[in-house]
Every structure is written in C-alpha cells, then in structure tokens.
Amino acid sequence: MGLNLPFLNGTFRRKRAQVIAIDLGNRTTKAVLLERRGETLALMRYALMDAPIFEKKISPDLLADHLHAVAEALGGTSKYVSMAVGLGDAVVRQIELPQIPLDEMRHVLKMNHKNYLQQDLPNHVFDCYIIPPRLQPAGNKTPEPARTGLTPTKFKVLAAAARQQLVNDFIQAAGTASLVADAMVPALIGPINAFENALPEVFARDTVALVDIGFKHTSVCVLDRGELATNRTINIGGDQITAGLAEAMNISYAEAEGIKVGMAPEVETGLQNQVLALGREIRASLDFFEHQQDRAVTEVYMSGGSTRSEMIVKMLHSEILADCKTWNATSFLQLALPGQQAVEIDLVGPQLTVAIGTALAAY
Ligand SMILES: Nc1ncnc2c1ncn2[C@@H]1O[C@H](COP(=O)(O)OP(=O)(O)OP(=O)(O)O)[C@@H](O)[C@H]1O
Ligand SMILES: [Mg+2]
C-alpha cells in the first residue's frame, strides 16, 4: 500500500536511486537504506540507534541532529528520507468514498473528517490510498456478492491524517540536516506494506493479523484478503515487559533489560505476567474481528523488538491460540549489506519491518 501523506508536492514520486527510511521508535530508531536495482530493491545498510529522548516531544533541532546521525550511520550516500509517523501521531482507517479523483478525495476527507474518521482533527493533513478491488479466485468469473457488499460507485480507501505541525517539523529538520524530506508514512502501514511484498499470496488470499510489538505500544492489524479490516493499539510493549520482570525479580530496570535481551531461561516466569497480559489483549482484538466478520484469523505475523526473543513469541502463541510467527520482511530484498550487518540481519530483521515498509511506500 503506497500510502503517504502527500504534503511534499509529490516529490517522493520521483524515482530515487537510493532512499533512506527512518522508523523513529519510542525506544529505538531503526533506519534502512534501499537502492533500486532495475526491478528489484537492495538493502544496502541498516542502523539501530537509541531514540533521542523518551516521553517528550522532540524539537526540530534535536530531530535534525538525529536525522543527520542516522544518515551518517547509513553511509551518507543518500539524502532522500522518508519517515514513519508513530502510532500516536497518525490516524488510519479504512473507509468508503465515492469514485472521484484522489485530489478530490483528500479534499472530501479534509472537509468531512469528523464523519469519516470519527474525530475532530484541526490543523491536520489528510491522505487517501485507493485499495485495489479484490481479485476473484481463478475460475470464478462472477463477483461474489458477499465480497462486493458495497455499491459499485464507491471505492474502499485507506485514509490517514497527521498534524500539519508534525509534517512541518519533519521538513524543517530534514532541511537542517541537509536531507530532503520525501514522505511520511503512518507506522501502522509499515508492516502492511512489507508484508504485501514479502508474502503476496498470503496477503491477497488469507485472513491474518500483523502484530508489531513496540516499546510502549503494540499494534494489531487484521488483514482480510488484502484489506485492512480492523486495527487497534494496545498499551503494552517491551517497556512494560522489562518493568514487570524487574519487579518480579526485584532488580533494577536496567538489569532486567539486560537479562531479558540475554534471555536466560530462568526469566521465563518473571516475563509471564506481562507477556500473557499482552497475549490476552491481542486475542481480544482477534475475537472482535472474528465475531464481527464470522471469519477466523488463521495466522499471526509478529514484528518489533520484543519478537527477537523466541521465548516471548512462544508465550504469546500459548495465549493467542493461533499460529504465531515472526516473518522476514527482507525476503523480497536483495541483500547487499556490509560484513557484520549481513551476519546479523536475521536477528535484527523483525525490528526493521516498519522501516522497510516505510521505504516501500516512498518508492
Ligand atoms: N532480543 C530481545 N529480546 C527481548 N526484547 C528485546 C530484544 N531486543 C529488543 N527488545 C525489546 O524491544 C523493545 C524495542 O522494540 P522496538 O524497537 O520495536 O520499539 P520502538 O519501535 O522503539 O517502540 P514503539 O514502536 O512503541 O515506538 C525494547 O523494549 C527492547 O527491550
Ligand atoms: Mg516501533
């Protein structure tokens, strides 16, 4: 899904040879450098860095320093940068709109966002992405009425909104860092974009959930045969898992973090409370969809830093009771990474999903 916030006069639609995409997480900044090579894309480099500050809004100057540091870490070969807009900073929703040109759709959305997005969003920018109509299964020539349960005069559209100020700050910070701001993409869309490319058949055919476990939040998206059916944010992430472990073991947060990432087997019971609470919330999100649509979510595809731990994924599986797996968001990319990065990509991969999906939207 090529959803962007088109505030940059469509500059991102120019074909760049190389692009940088940055996922400014609450805990960790993840960035990738992709290069276009004919029909394929190559992953040239990635970077993981501590986020500049937690809990506080970042100033354009601080953001500029950070963007500069990220671009340097990626080798300084590209100045075109796209950024993921965090879960709290972007509104994303699937809606239906009349079949009108995209420009008009954005205008309609801007004028009627209270109706379509069900909240008042003053000083926001809006974007739309038209979801291509579902392909019919081979041999089935007539459209399924159940699937085309909307009048043919409507498009299914993914709508997004973000504060104008956020957009302005990003443009300003990129400029200060001698970079060019190409696009902003809702972080929620990152895993969806990457998934569509990594597992196109599953994306088009199945009903699955994409779960991204972050630092403070976890996002759950149910994808039903290529469409975003529901999305939800849960206020549990790696932070709470570490805090819970610290409490259970009566040790400091920093110690607990070290032990968690090291994954000594004895931490399992200490992790249980938080991880199972997260699992229950994810299960509840799936239940919500399943009851509403009378369709089962067959698989749960997980990404985010916490899914680097096999133990956590296993625990979630036992609570969610659907097949839970991590997946490789780099599988459709040509890997052109320097030595050590090439060795570590399998470990780091689950944490780069949003950054990779953001880069795809910018291409
Ligand atoms: N090997 C590991 N095992 C368990 N947890 C890990 C591991 N590596 C990283 N984490 C956890 O992942 C979390 C960071 O994940 P991630 O980078 O996806 O978050 P973020 O993107 O910064 O946050 P958000 O998405 O909420 O903005 C941290 O809480 C960290 O403890
Ligand atoms: Mg994140």
- Angle (deg, nearest 10), helices 268-293 and 238-249: 140
Burial 21-35 (b: 16+ CB within 10 A, else e): bbbbbbebbbbbbbb
- Atom of ligand 1 at shortest range from CA of 238: 29
CA 103 to centroid of ligand 2, rounded, Å:
30
d(CA 28, CA 224): 30
Residue having the nearest C-alpha atom to atom 9 of ligand 1: 305
Task: Determine how many CB atoms are found less than 10 A away from the CB of residue 222.
Answer: 25
CA 355 to centroid of ligand 1, rounded, Å:
14
Q: Give the length of the chain.
A: 363
d(CA 188, CA 106): 19
CA 82 to centroid of ligand 2, rounded, Å:
15
Give the predicted TM-score (pTM) of the model: 0.90
- Atom of ligand 1 at shortest range from CA of 29: 22
CA 169 to centroid of ligand 2, rounded, Å:
20
Question: Which residues approach ligand 1 with their CB closer than 6 A?
Answer: 25-28, 86, 214-217, 237-239, 242, 257, 260-261, 304-306, 308-309, 312, 351
CB 299 within 8 A of CB 206: yes
CA 252 to centroid of ligand 1, rounded, Å:
18
Q: Which residues have C-beta under 5 Å from ligand 2, the single-atom ion?
A: 25, 214
Residue having the nearest C-alpha atom to atom 15 of ligand 1: 305
Q: Write down the pLDDT at residue 7.
A: 45
Q: Write down the pLDDT at residue 142.
A: 46
Look at the block and give the residue holding tokens 């399992």. 268
Q: Write down the pLDDT at residue 149.
A: 53
- Helix, strand, or coil (residue 144): coil
CB 348 within 8 A of CB 261: no
Which residue among 261, 274, 344, 356 has the greatest number of ligand 1 atoms within 8 angstroms of its CB, and so is best to mutate? Answer: 261
The dihedral built from the CA positions of residue 346, 350, 352 and 354, taken in this order, carries a sign that is: positive
d(CA 38, CA 189): 25
d(CA 362, CA 25): 19
CB 181 within 8 A of CB 199: no
- Helix, strand, or coil (residue 153): coil
Q: Write down the pLDDT at residue 10.
A: 46
Domains of the chain with bracketed CATH: 11-199+330-362 (3.30.420.40), 218-326 (3.30.420.40)
Question: Tokens in use for 46?
Answer: 């990635």
Which residue among 29, 46, 218, 306 has the greatest number of ligand 1 atoms within 8 angstroms of its CB, and so is best to mutate? Answer: 306
- Of 135, 136, 127, 134, nearest to 97 by C-alpha is 127
- Of 230, 236, 185, 171, nearest to 5 by C-alpha is 185
* pLDDT < 50 regions, the chain: 2-3, 6-12, 139-146
CA 320 to centroid of ligand 1, rounded, Å:
20
The Cα diameter of the chain in Å comes to: 63
Nearest ligand to residue 358 Cα: 2
Query: How, if at all, do strands 207-213 and 218-224 pair?
Result: antiparallel
